[in-house]
Amino acid sequence: MAISPSIHYNDEDLASRWREFFEDTGMRGHAILLADRYPEERSLRIDFQHINAYDPDLASYLLENPAKAVKAAENVMHSLLPAERSQVRLHFRLQGLPLDARVEIRDLRSKHLGKMVCIEGLVRKATEVRPRLVDAVFRCARCDTELHVKQEGVLLKEPLECSRDGGGCGRTSGSTKFILLPEESSYEDTQKVEVQESPEGLRGGAQPERLEGFLIDDITGRISPGDRVILNGILTGNQRSGPQGKSTLFNIMLQVSSVEYREHEYDEIKITPEDIEKIRDEASKEDIVKEIAHSISPTIYGFDIEKEAFALQLFSGVSKVMQDGTKIRGDIHILLVGDPGLAKSQLLSYMSQLAPRGIYTSGKSSSAAGLTAAAVKDEFGEGRWTLEAGALVLADKGIACVDELDKMSDNDRSAMHQIMESQIITVAKAGITATLQARCSILGAANPIYGRFQNEQMLGAQIDMPPALLSRFDLIFILQDKPNSSRDRSIASHILKAHRVGERRKLEKTPEGVEESTVAEESRLVEPVFDREFLRKYISYAKRINPILTDDAIAIIMEEYLRIRKLGEEPGASMPITARQLEAYVRLSEASARGRLNELVERQDAERAIRIVGHYLQKLAREGDVLDIDRIGGDMSHNQRSHIATVLDIIRNVPDEFGGAAIGDIVEKAKKMKIDEVEARKIVEKLARTGEIYEQKAGVYKIANK
Ligand code: ADP
Ligand code: MG
């Protein structure tokens, strides 16, 4: 629809056009019905299309001169109501704006001021709902006359004189005082929100821009931070004022006319019938999940299992609501722990761009809301409390890639448990109590405390995160940078080739001295199997499928779970895995079935899950041959703990007259207790370092507190 700016109406024309519209389209009857239910109903919502179909000129005029047109529409609407409804005040709220009224926040310019625009975004902040004076009643202190002053804007407007027309004494504000009568005055509810551009609309790395919106009356109090909304409204300028007085610079804000909600994440990605055909076609091919894994960050060499797990994370398991109302998350949480320089950040950033609704953030985010959410009292709220959404709330129904997760704030640390399990966050502070949704998968990365990961130490002791939090990850991958000449060669060659491909892309043709065919081959090496756009379509299509476990899959998972549990039955052994891992198997298998666009979770899906969980458990929990889940959370495994106790006992039991335990004797005795020499020496060293024993003289140890 082309907007012709030439349309002009005088007040009468405008009123008569609206009158015709209301009468001819049945909207008058609609308004009367609403008026009967006033004040429960306070808005007439009208689709733009409705107006456009009846009177395209009026519709364009409305977009160009919204303040005037809406006011006229409201006046006409009220005049058409039956006389006994004269007190009714309905809002005329416009929704369903056409595409050409849609503007990205970053594209808002001065030409949009005063126009009707449609902004799509993510709600970041919302203040409490608070009343605002609209009709202030004052009493003249000299003659007691009551005066009404309509209020607009933020500053209170007082009467200038006690007007004689209104039956007053005629004194000006210099010779009388005007006293505000709060009980006589009337108010409306107001709320301020801040929306930011949706992450999927952003070009890589760009910071999302933000816009303030102002809501009044019946549409207040419904928006929560984290909501995806379309705000229709009038863009207005807000003069800045500084210490030197009023400025010629303006801030912009949106006077919101109506709010539309985005329900489903997959609404955002348009999939055509041709796309579906291609998706189905690819899905039928040999091991599609692996192909998708190969499309994740192809310039990063290796990490095959990790990338396969990332692919499953993109699909996620099935979220369930049981008959008793219990919710079970389907989202898969993955943690990468590892030495610096192993491409963790690269992988995270790639995933955040690939995943629909993905975001990339750091644990030590600078905003008050951090990763979770916060209630703050800042300039934005103008004295009101504001609820601000953190990264995980903004990533609702997406993947939150959180780098340096171990560096999160204490506030986040305590809120993370709730987020990772029940996927909500409750904020209760001052006037604000709210529950925000954070149904996102977390892909976290953390560096070991000591810089590098040490095999012999427990994970819990090496990463600054509470065990209970660690146990909520479905998968924890340890990445280690151990020199290994054949692997090093492959990585180096991959990185170097990738660089050459990147260089070649800047040139028109391959210069002499380098083989064109070699570079072409190298280019295939770092090319994703599927491009990002297709993958996003594939993912959002696959997520509509809710696969169900087959008997086969149940039996396989059960068997594996029991097999590992059984390892824990041996005397002295500790708990191998817990029911949490069982859920991880289920989620991963479901995701695998989704990835294949299959409605059944079958043997191959269960096997994939077992292979991936097995990979992580082996790396993490392997100690001798016993899987020991205590290694994940605690800072010592059951075995180590009992070995340390044994060594301590040995030292303690040496009679005093010996003057301490000689290292040779300790090693001998430890051997009899099935602790090998290397370990025994290590334990002694560690105990001496931590001060539990001390070296009485060279090679002779005593218990410190004896
Ligand atoms: P981290 O976050 O783990 O400290 P980065 O993501 O910053 O590491 O990666 C460091 C650099 O090393 C990146 O430029 C990355 O491309 C490169 N790199 C590391 N490992 C690999 C690999 N396996 N394949 C390709 N490049 C790699
Ligand atoms: Mg990093």
Q: Could you give the domains of the chain?
A: 11-101 (3.30.1640.10), 115-263 (2.40.50.140), 267-627 (3.40.50.300), 638-703 (1.10.10.10)
- SS3 of 43, please? strand
Looking at beta carbons, which pairs linking 47-55 to residues 24 or more positions away fall under 8 Å? 47/95, 47/96, 48/94, 48/95, 48/96, 48/97, 48/98, 48/101, 49/96, 49/98, 50/25, 51/21, 52/1, 52/98, 54/21, 54/24, 54/25, 55/17, 55/20, 55/21
**What does pLDDT average to over the chain?**
86
Q: How far is the CA of 395 from the centre of ligand 2 (A)?
A: 20
Overall residue count recorded for the chain in this entry: 706
Pocket test for ligand 1, best of 299, 345, 346, 348 (most atoms within 8 A of CB): 346
| DSSP β-ladder status, 386-389 and 373-376 | antiparallel
Which atom of ligand 1 lies nearest, measured to the CA of 344? 3
Q: What is the residue with the minimal CA distance to atom 5 of ligand 1? A: 343
Lowest mean pLDDT among 237-251, 434-448, 532-546: 237-251
User: Which tokens is 188 given?
Assistant: 């409306």
Q: How far is the CA of 621 from the centre of ligand 1 (A)?
A: 25
pLDDT for 370 equals: 83
Q: What is the residue with the minimal CA distance to atom 15 of ligand 1? A: 343
Q: What is the residue with the minimal CA distance to atom 14 of ligand 1? A: 343
Burial of 357-366, coded b for 16+ CB within 10 Å and e otherwise, reads: bbbbbbbebe
CA dihedral defined by 326, 397, 290, 563, rounded to 10 degrees?
A: -20
Contacts of 198 (CB under 8 A, 6+ apart): 120, 121, 122, 208, 228, 268
Q: Using 50, 70 and 90 to split pLDDT, how confident is the model at 18?
A: very high
Q: How far is the CA of 341 from the centre of ligand 1 (A)?
A: 5
Which atom of ligand 1 lies nearest, measured to the CA of 498? 25
Q: Using 50, 70 and 90 to split pLDDT, how confident is the model at 243?
A: low
Residue among 189, 183, 264, 177 at smallest CA distance from 221 = 189
CA distance 382 to 385: 8
Which atom of ligand 1 lies nearest, measured to the CA of 342? 3
Give pLDDT tens digits for 329-383.
999 999 999 888 889 999 999 999 888 888 888 888 767 778 888 888 888 888 7
User: Which tokens is 496 given?
Assistant: 């170097």
Q: How far is the CA of 208 from the centre of ligand 2 (A)?
A: 22
Q: How far is the CA of 345 from the centre of ligand 1 (A)?
A: 7
CA distance 66 to 60: 10
CA distance 505 to 495: 15
pLDDT for residue 625 is more than 50: no
Q: What is the residue with the minimal CA distance to atom 16 of ligand 1? A: 343
Lowest mean pLDDT among 197-211, 381-395, 552-566, 583-597: 197-211
Q: How far is the CA of 346 from the centre of ligand 1 (A)?
A: 6
CA distance 106 to 149: 37
Query: Relative to the alpha carbon of 300, which ligand is closest?
Result: 1
Structure letter (DSSP) for residue 511 = P
Contact 404, 362 (CB under 8 A): yes
| DSSP β-ladder status, 43-47 and 91-95 | parallel
Q: Using 50, 70 and 90 to split pLDDT, how confident is the model at 208?
A: confident
Contacts of 194 (CB under 8 A, 6+ apart): 123, 124, 125, 126, 210, 211, 212, 213, 380
Which atom of ligand 1 lies nearest, measured to the CA of 303? 23
User: Pocket around ligand 1: residues whose beta carbon is below 6 Å from it?
Assistant: 300-302, 340-346, 491, 494-495
pLDDT for 571 equals: 53
**Kind and range of the H or E run holding 646:** helix 638-652
Pocket test for ligand 1, best of 351, 404, 487, 495 (most atoms within 8 A of CB): 495
Query: Relative to the alpha carbon of 502, which ligand is closest?
Result: 1
Contact 289, 595 (CB under 8 A): yes
Q: How far is the CA of 445 from the centre of ligand 2 (A)?
A: 8
Give pLDDT tens digits for 441-486.
999 999 887 767 766 666 666 777 887 788 889 999 988 777 777 8
Neighbours of ion ligand 2 (CB under 5 A): 345
The C-alpha angle 404, 406, 410, rounded to 5 degrees, equals 120
pLDDT for residue 283 is more than 50: yes
Q: How far is the CA of 462 from the centre of ligand 1 (A)?
A: 21
pLDDT for 517 equals: 86
